[in-house]
Structure 1
Amino acid sequence: MTKPYQRPSADEPAWWFICSAGEIVLDDNNQPPHGRLDDLPLPTLDDYGVVWLGEVRERSCYLVLADYGDDAFAALGEFQSLRPMIAQHDEEMFSMASRAKQITEFISTHRFCGRCGTRMQSVDWELAMQCHTCNHRCYPRISPCIIVAIRKGNEILLARGKRHRPGLFSVLAGFVEAGETLEQTLAREVMEEAGIKVSKVQYVCSQPWPFPNSLMMGFTAEWQSGELHLDPFELEEGDWFNIHDLPETPLAGTIAHRLIETVKSQIDQESEARD
């Protein structure tokens, strides 16, 4: 296995994921810079942390840990949120960018040992931080959560959380708590946020969601019982919507969009079968 902290060679074509304060350098096409060190207007990397992330399309990917407000990379693009990359419909590239952002978050929040307070050191042969005083070792944190599209006949449950901008509705989601299975989390979150019970739960897909370190596990389900009672502390508004008359929903490329499209496909197939 390639060591995570190996240094790139000057003539190696690579993708460069330059991250700082939760943002990443993107070019005019909302892509990370690509090219050789010799050809790109990159500063010397001796003063930066560099992590080998993996490969995309047979090219190495390197994370460069930039300083906040660092303008040394201005010729390559601008520091932006990862969200513009979602609209590119390049799942492989977004996944690698997600990895870069999450590793940046991990390194920046594990400079000191959570057990004894000693400064942590990176491990050469794996992606981890080690305390050489008490031998406490940490790995990148992943916070699992469920996201579920619930249908009721030809309708789907959509809601707008307090962090959503006005007019944007999505499906329900929530974090897994210690000791829970995914199924238990789904049932609890749906009851807490909407006051209903569901059945026929089916797994669909998963997606890393680096805001900042989630792993979204997507499901569909069907309404079983209960009247809709939204949690006012979590949700601003929500309702059952006809699948062919929806408000604004998340962009293509998000797991929420895929789940909504999965429910729409199910309903359309059933309608065609009846006809």
Structure 2
Amino acid sequence: MFRLDNHPPVNRGRVLHIVFQDGELLSDLRSPQACLLGEDELYDNGWVILREQFVGYWGEQPCFAVEIDSGHSPDPMRFQRGSLYSILGRVEDPLFAMAGRAAQLLNWEKDHQFCGRCGSPMELDSAERAMRCRPCRTINYPRISPCIITLVTRGEELLLARNANFPRAMYSTLAGFIEAGESAEDTLHREVKEEVGIDVHNLQYFNSQPWPFPSQLMLGFYAEYAGGEIVCDPAEIADARWFHYTDLPQVPPPSSVAGQLIRHYVQSLN
């Protein structure tokens, strides 16, 4: 139901909004669509819009991301403020993807108010999704950070790890950012070696997913164990071990590419 588009409509009838305040998502506790608010919600509550970005279409309705002034106090009996994680798994995947795009676009505009080259104020381009500096002609587009995420397997066993910075006792797949000059495959080999000390081969691409924490594009892969013993990088990995597919720990939900990698592999063994 979500159709990405960079060109706002001429007619703003039946407009929807995804609202943020102080960097947090505002969701309607009474609505099954949670983070989609109608035009009347903004104006009836007297919220002042600081910045606005067109996101795309939800069904046939145009949708804008807006940031409202921090001075407003939305009714706590109706509206809840929180991170994007607050709606993960609570709304359908296309709506979460749209909310993630909304957050990224607002943060991009906020982070590029001034030119990083000459310091002059930047302005939104009317023809394309870009921030432009007129004095030195620098152009900034929304930044996407490509990452690999991989499930390493050894027959009926899955290598899963618990991130050192993650408070919950959840085990997941390995992931890392692609560095300048690297291919996705190079990154996968390097990250697995750095994080858990093993070698892999027989890489197979699975799928991709935009992940707005803050602006990643996750490229999902399978990789087979090729040798070595697990040695965790303590700065990144609190624990990593082999799990039989019939005895898995708590893993990410199917709304994430990590959860999809795990579930798809387990289903292939049954």
Q: Could you state the TM-score of these two structures normalised by the residue count of structure 2?
A: 0.90
1:161-214 deviation per Cα after TM superposition (whole angstroms, max 9, x unaligned): 122124111110000000111011111101111111112211111111111111
Q: Distance in 1 between matches of 2:266 and 2:75?
A: 44
In the alignment, what sits opposite 1:113? 115
Q: CA deviation at 1:8?
A: 6.8
The count of corresponding residues between Structure 1 and Structure 2 is 264
- Equivalent residue of 2:106, what SS? helix
Q: Distance in 1 between matches of 2:82 and 2:41?
A: 25
Contact 1:30–1:85 (CA<8 Å) still a contact in 2? no
Q: Distance in 2 between matches of 1:32 and 1:167?
A: 28
Instruction: Name the aligned partner's letter for residue 177 of structure 2.
Output: F
More off after superposition, 239-248 vs 160-169: 160-169
Q: Distance in 2 between matches of 1:73 and 1:137?
A: 39
Within-5 A mapping of 1:16-27: 16-27=17-28
Question: Is residue 179 of structure 1 aligned with residue 185 of structure 2?
Answer: no
Within-5 A mapping of 1:143-162: 143-162=145-164
Question: Is residue 15 of structure 1 aligned with residue 16 of structure 2?
Answer: yes
Within-5 A mapping of 1:60-209: 60-68=62-70, 70-71=72-73, 77-88=79-90, 90-209=92-211
Q: CA deviation at 1:75?
A: 7.7
Question: Is residue 41 of structure 1 aligned with residue 49 of structure 2?
Answer: no
Contact 1:42–1:73 (CA<8 Å) still a contact in 2? no
Within-5 A mapping of 1:225-240: 225-240=227-242
Q: Distance in 2 between matches of 1:169 and 1:128?
A: 38
Distance of aligned partners of 1:234 and 1:109 in 2 relative to their CA distance in 1, 3 Å threshold: same
The one of 53, 57, 61 equivalent to 1:59 is: 61
In the alignment, what sits opposite 2:35? 32
Q: Identity over aligned residues, as a percent?
A: 36
Q: Could you state the TM-score of these two structures normalised by the residue count of structure 1?
A: 0.88
In the alignment, what sits opposite 1:273? none
CA RMSD of aligned residues (A): 2.3
Q: Distance in 1 between matches of 2:75 and 2:145?
A: 31
Q: CA deviation at 1:39?
A: 9.0
Q: Distance in 1 between matches of 2:256 and 2:71?
A: 29
- Equivalent residue of 2:201, what SS? strand
Can you give the 5+ residue segments of structure 1 that lack an aligned partner in the other structure? 269-275
- Equivalent residue of 1:37, what SS? helix
Distance of aligned partners of 1:124 and 1:42 in 2 relative to their CA distance in 1, 3 Å threshold: farther
Can you give the 5+ residue segments of structure 2 that lack an aligned partner in the other structure? none
Contact 1:41–1:76 (CA<8 Å) still a contact in 2? no
1:137-164 deviation per Cα after TM superposition (whole angstroms, max 9, x unaligned): 1011000001001111211011111221
1:90-120 deviation per Cα after TM superposition (whole angstroms, max 9, x unaligned): 1211111110010111011101100011111
